[in-house]
Chain A
Amino acid sequence: MNRLLGVELMKLRRSGMVWIAVGAPLFLTLQGIANFLRYSDTMFAGSTRTKWEILYEQCMIMYPSLLLPLVITVMVALLARLEHSQNGWKQLLALPVTREQVYKSKLVIACLLVLLNLGVLSIGTLVGGLMIGIEGDVPYELILGRGLLAFVATLPVIAIQFVLSYRFSHVGVPLAIGTALAAPTLFAANSERFWLYDPWTYPVMAYFGPAQEGITRGDWMYAIACGLFLLIIWIGLQEFKKRDMV
């Protein structure tokens, strides 16, 4: 399994996937910081929120609802394409590795890429804020803690895209389905009752949902996210183990 992980990391070399993982959030944090600097004397003046909160919002407002699901879709599809494109499955699976090991190591890589992606967003915001010298206590829990929670919230999306990407050798299938499902996220997230049924809204809720005490819909969300992830990944694994590599 460790050997497989090493090999999978090697395959990422020059594939451009790491650039997508780092580039997309970096761009948004830079843009958020620029916005913050530009409007801090006008629009944001007199706001009741702290400067850190304003910066957080500027950096993250677009990401979970629009870009994040697409970035996940594209990254996971590209990861699968590494094997699909030159029919790497038949070579990889003829070697002394089990299908379960292959499947799991690919999943770990996919999760690491998403984690890197969310990490750049959070840390980028934090470092950016420190560099431009925002006053006041740094709200680590908001900036870093929610980034971690957001990872849990993206798990169902990762699982769905992962299974689709590995099941269908044509890269268009996961891309089309992923994009179509991501499109209504903003509307669904604004619905009081129905957002819980659409896992694509979970990252939005993780970043911008109200921080509440006690058991709330938010806690349910993380439980559902983990449950869905395990279920979908398990179903995908059963199919992968039985599949004829034609």
Chain B
Amino acid sequence: MAAFVIETNNLTKTFKGFKPVDALSLQVKKGEVYGFLGPNGAGKTTTIRMLLGLIRPTKGEVRIFGKPLERYRLEIARKIGSMVETPSYYGHLTGYENLEITRKLLDAERKDIDRVLEIVRLTEWRNTKVKTYSLGMKQRLGIAQALIGKPELLILDEPTNGLDPAGIHEIRDLIVTLPEQMNMTVLVSSHILQEVERIADRVGIINHGKLLFQGELAELQSRSQAKIYVEADRPDEAARLLFNTGYRIEKREGALYIDADKSRAAEINKSLILNGYDVSHISEERKSLEDIFLEMTKEAQSV
């Protein structure tokens, strides 16, 4: 059994001089929910299309279920369910007929259609033409389509796009239960960290086609240093004082941010007060994941 369900090696795509995906090496483990994060235009969709064989890589290799995609695409495609960006559908056909098309091509059982319709709660609308569906319903139909045939690997590109809060919640719950209940591995992309935060076992963060981080979110969190946030009168002088006692300090909007964790808070407080500064606020600041994510993707932009 292969260690990784998806493994890319130096995956690169060049379109007329610009590189939407640049030397990307991802590893997705069996049975996990992998969050693929990055701002819009970071290269997520291009990467996902290469994983599905819709786009040919300029360089590098994709291995899925341990086999090179280029040679074994048909065999691999049988075990993948996918929804890329906006859902694809035939508007003049009903929801049921749309699923029937996928079912036939996958050679799945007919009753599977009822099962997936139930999962995405479209049973009631099965005989309605898809062009009359709302965006959220089309999105759910796309997900139903991806679930047909009980794939071992599910690839969902921005699956909650266009859904209302209840729908987002529902899809999130669904994604979490899939690995346990159906023994699936899930790769889900998003440009919003919070969407992935609660469901992903591991994440890959990408910007400008390059992988910036891959691993557990806790690991990402631990990378960020804690700071002590202080509000005091005469902040300029207070800052000089602390600087002279050996702290690294940043001043923003009249407040001080000191590179230190909370074990030093009392000491800092004492030295400020003993030197005649009134301290009105002191606390530890830890960056939220969102901040880390934003900073990370912004940094890459300014380079």
Contacts and interface: CB of A to CB of B under 8 A. Distances in A.
Contacts of A86: 86-91
A200 to B, nearest CB: 30
A94 B92 contact: no
A242 B56 contact: yes
Contacts of B196: none
A13 interface: yes
B-side interface size class: 20 to 34
Contact of B106 (A11, A85, A95, A242): A95
Contacts of B78: 96
B97 A13 contact: yes
A35 interface: no
B93 A96 contact: no
Interface string B94-126: 000100111011110000000000000000000
Contact of B97 (A4, A10, A96, A242): A10
Contacts of A96: 74-75, 77-78, 105-106
Interface in A73-124: 82, 85-98
A244 B92 CA distance: 26
Contact of B52 (A11, A82, A94): A94
A242 B105 CA distance: 22
A96 B107 CA distance: 10
Given A7-B105, A94-B80, A98-B74, A244 B56 contact: yes
A217 interface: no
A132 interface: no
Contacts of A3: 104-105, 107
A94 B102 contact: no
Interface in B43-75: 49, 52-56, 74-75
Contact of B104 (A6, A89, A91, A98): A6
B53 A94 contact: yes
Given A3-B105, A244-B56, A15 B92 contact: yes
Contact of B54 (A4, A94, A97): A94
Contacts of B105: 3-4, 7, 92, 95-97
Contacts of A85: 91
A90 to B, nearest CB: 5
7 contacts: A7-B101, A82-B90, A86-B86, A86-B88, A95-B77, A96-B78, A245-B49
Interface of B: 49, 52-56, 74-75, 77-78, 80, 82-93, 97, 100-102, 104-107, 129, 145
